[in-house]
């Protein structure tokens, strides 16, 4: 790939702006930004230094100078925009959920493979150096045989009955909310760090009362699972847990040692053993070489969520340039999340153990 990569960002809300900052930090250009109205697009264009702003995303996709399309709209628009971007020959980053429906996600995987374009889904927590370090430690056997995987992903921003967002409407957000919105991040992270695949799930979900009646999608859930490696685990997911802002917490426990990652304290990896426990700070001696690529600033200068996105977009750009990048979450991972969501919903509604397809 010659010159700077030119990106079109479709959707200019919270995450569209995170993408825009990451594009610029990764050395790309924000060629277009698109939002639901021209006014919102123009305002976002000023904030993100986009070259053009439009309320018609098709206009951005028709620009032959655009290399990568970022789909950052509400969920129900992902499939249509991602499919159109592939048809236009663009590389595509599509926000999670890639598709609320697993069949649609599979179709996008096939379309992208036929077109030969790079795809990515921002399971962005993979891009913390401490997560890469934890993955390397599990992979080289430092923990011993993994016996237990557990954790939680808790938020509070929908905890009051009147709290609203398009995500609460199943027509825009999809049939699963807490699991489909944030549970999939936890599952992706757990599978990424451990190399185990969740093979069976059992689940209980709940919905709180809202002004128009109970939520139509789950506000929270407890999920038990087994993996293809014979490990058991559990995760608690909630968007109605007062005080918890974005508390993604993962613990992997092996025969010799444990490792814990806490998204709200992402520069540290907790390691437990029968002897002394330790806290490993990213970038210090002994951390895995695989983590180095994502250390954007030297140790002692805290890194965070936006930096993960820079690492993520940088890896997408490297893949567009022809590099084989380890650990890039692709549309196949987006499809995996849709399959897990389907199994979760079936488990929650039947109250049976459900096998995860694939």
Q: What residue ranges bind ligand NAD (CB under 6 A)?
A: 10-16, 34-36, 40, 57, 72-75, 77, 95-96, 122, 124, 166, 181
Q: Give the nearer residue to ligand NAD in terms of CB position, either 10 or 31.
A: 10
The strand pair at 6-10 and 29-34 is best described as parallel
The structure tokens 């992402």 sit at 266
Q: Give the nearer residue to ligand NAD in terms of CB position, either 146 or 237.
A: 237
Q: Give the nearer residue to ligand NAD in terms of CB position, either 109 or 124.
A: 124
Beta carbon of residue 141, minimum distance to ligand NAD (angstroms, whole number): 30
Beta carbon of residue 139, minimum distance to ligand NAD (angstroms, whole number): 24
Q: Give the nearer residue to ligand NAD in terms of CB position, either 69 or 231.
A: 69
Q: Give the nearer residue to ligand NAD in terms of CB position, either 73 or 310.
A: 73
Beta carbon of residue 236, minimum distance to ligand NAD (angstroms, whole number): 19
Q: Give the nearer residue to ligand NAD in terms of CB position, either 21 or 147.
A: 21
Beta carbon of residue 35, minimum distance to ligand NAD (angstroms, whole number): 4
The strand pair at 232-238 and 209-210 is best described as unpaired
Euclidean distance between CA atoms 85 and 75, whole angstroms: 16
Beta carbon of residue 356, minimum distance to ligand NAD (angstroms, whole number): 21
Are 138 and 252 in contact, with CB atoms under 8 Å apart?
A: yes
Q: Give the nearer residue to ligand NAD in terms of CB position, either 98 or 320.
A: 98
SS3 for 218? coil
Q: Which residue is nearest to ligand NAD (CB)?
A: 13
- Residue 21 burial (CB < 10 Å; 0-12/13-18/19+)? middle
Euclidean distance between CA atoms 1 and 21, whole angstroms: 21
Scanning the chain, the segments in alpha helix (DSSP H) are: 14-25, 38-48, 57-61, 78-87, 102-115, 129-139, 170-173, 178, 184-194, 289-292, 305-320, 331-350
Beta carbon of residue 93, minimum distance to ligand NAD (angstroms, whole number): 10
Beta carbon of residue 247, minimum distance to ligand NAD (angstroms, whole number): 14
CB atoms within 10 A of CB 171: 12
Sheet holding 6-10, edge to edge: 52-54, 29-34, 6-10, 68-71, 91-94, 119-120
Neighbouring C-alpha atoms within 13 Å toward the C-beta of 354: 22
């Amino acid at each position: 790939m010659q010159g700077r990569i030119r990106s079109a960002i479709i959707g200019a809300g919270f995450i569209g702006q995170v993408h825009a900052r990451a594009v610029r930090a990764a050395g790309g250009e924000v060629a277009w930004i698109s939002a639901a109205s021209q006014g919102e697009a123009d305002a976002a264009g000023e904030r993100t230094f986009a070259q053009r702003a439009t309320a018609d995303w098709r206009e951005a996709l028709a620009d032959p100078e655009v290399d990568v399309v970022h789909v950052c709209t509400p969920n129900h628009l992902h499939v249509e925009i991602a499919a159109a971007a592939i048809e236009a020959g663009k590389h595509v980053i599509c926000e999670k959920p890639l598709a609320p429906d697993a069949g649609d996600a599979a179709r996008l995987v096939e379309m992208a493979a036929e077109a030969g374009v790079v795809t990515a889904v921002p399971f962005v927590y993979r891009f913390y150096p401490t997560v890469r370090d934890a993955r390397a430690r599990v992979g080289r056997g430092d923990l011993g045989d993994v016996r237990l995987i557990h954790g939680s992903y808790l938020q509070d921003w929908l905890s009051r009955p009147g709290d609203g967002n398009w995500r609460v409407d199943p027509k825009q957000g999809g049939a699963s909310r807490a699991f489909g919105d944030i549970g999939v991040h936890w599952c992706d992270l757990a599978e990424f760090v451990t190399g185990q695949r969740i093979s069976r799930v059992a689940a209980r979900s709940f919905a709180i009362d809202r002004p128009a009646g109970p939520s139509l999608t789950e506000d929270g859930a407890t999920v038990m699972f087994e993996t293809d490696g014979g490990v058991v685990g559990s995760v608690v997911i909630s968007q109605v847990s007062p005080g918890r802002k974005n508390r993604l917490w993962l613990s992997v426990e092996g025969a010799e040692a444990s490792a814990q990652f806490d998204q709200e304290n992402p520069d540290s990896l907790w390691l437990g053993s029968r002897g002394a426990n330790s806290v490993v700070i990213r970038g210090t001696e002994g951390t895995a070489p695989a983590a180095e690529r994502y250390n954007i600033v030297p140790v002692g200068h805290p890194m965070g969520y936006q930096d993960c996105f820079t690492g993520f977009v940088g890896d997408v750009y490297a893949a567009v340039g022809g590099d084989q990048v380890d650990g890039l979450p692709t549309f196949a991972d987006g499809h995996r999340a849709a399959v897990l969501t389907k199994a979760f919903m079936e488990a929650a509604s039947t109250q049976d153990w459900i096998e995860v397809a694939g």
